[in-house]
Amino acid sequence: MGLWEQLHNPDFNVTEFSNIKNEAGSHGFVLSSSQWIAKTGAKGLISKTGRHGGGTFAHTDIAFEFASWISPSFKLYLIKEFQRLKEEENERLKLEWNLQRTLSKINYHIQTDAIKENLVPKELSKQEINFIYASEADLLNMALFGMTARQWQDENPGFQGNIRDAATIEQLVVLSNLESINSVMISQGLKQSERLQQLNRIAIKQMNSLMQSRSMKKLK
């Protein structure tokens, strides 16, 4: 309780706390919650009088400590719950770390013309547009990256992952948008070549927009 107060209460009376510590354990030592609060100016405990709403209330940190001391089963539950939450946090942090790794690519060089030329999709040729691709995934890859997953893998044999694993955050945002738009186009009965041409134009437009986005700049 004293440690909690020293960490969270700038008005805590450390001198009086030392006196209480020296007396604690001696024969006949008694200290009520109201006395503790009055002597030390503690804020971790609240003591109220009255039949309705009266009683002693503690901050959750202190309450957990008391409950853990009184009940071994509660302490074990608390430990298990803490471990579970840490595991979930670790999984989330892995995702955040991957995101940070991707975002690290979006540094100040992203604004230079050379980098822009590499990130903004190229306009596909008529031959590329008319070519029939095996899957809708590769259709989106062509619209955004200008190549199929296999073509990218052949050009990057040492990379552990696929074309989308190497994508920047902007490209992943646009890819997600293209997936939704493509599904609408499919329901409209558009040919693959027509969809590819339109998706490619949309990808170019959205990438150019994201490159100038203030929100994306803040993510650096």
| Partners of residue 56 on adjacent β-strands | 47
Choice among 3-7, 51-55, 146-150 with the minimum mean pLDDT: 51-55
Q: Do 149 and 137 touch, CB atoms closer than 8 A?
A: yes
Confidence of residue 158 (pLDDT cuts 50, 70, 90): confident
How is 14-44 classified by DSSP, letter by letter?
Answer: HHHHHHHHHHTTSTT----HHHHHHHH---S
Q: Residue 170's CB: how many other CB atoms inside 10 A?
A: 22
Q: At what angle do helices 60-70 and 72-103 cross, to 10 degrees?
A: 140
Confidence of residue 199 (pLDDT cuts 50, 70, 90): very high
pLDDT, residue 209, reads 84
pLDDT, residue 41, reads 94
Collapsing DSSP to helix, strand or coil, 120 comes out as coil
Is the pLDDT score of 118 beyond 90? no
Mean pLDDT over the full length of the chain: 82
Of 55 and 92, the structure prediction assigns the larger pLDDT to: 55
- The alpha-helical segments, DSSP class H, found in the chain are 2-8, 14-23, 33-40, 60-70, 72-103, 113-119, 126-130, 136-145, 149-155, 169-187, 192-211, 214-218
pLDDT, residue 101, reads 57
Give the model confidence (pLDDT) of 23-79 as tens digits: 888 888 899 999 999 999 999 999 888 777 788 899 999 999 999 999 999 999 989
Rg from Cα positions in the chain: 31
CA distance 150 to 155: 9
pLDDT, residue 108, reads 37
Q: Which two tokens stand for residue 171?
A: 């490209």
pLDDT, residue 97, reads 58
Range ranked top by mean pLDDT from 29-33, 101-105, 184-188: 29-33
CA distance 165 to 152: 11
Q: What percent of the chain has pLDDT over 70?
A: 83
pLDDT, residue 73, reads 92
Q: What does DSSP assign to residue 212?
A: T
pLDDT, residue 214, reads 52
Confidence of residue 198 (pLDDT cuts 50, 70, 90): very high
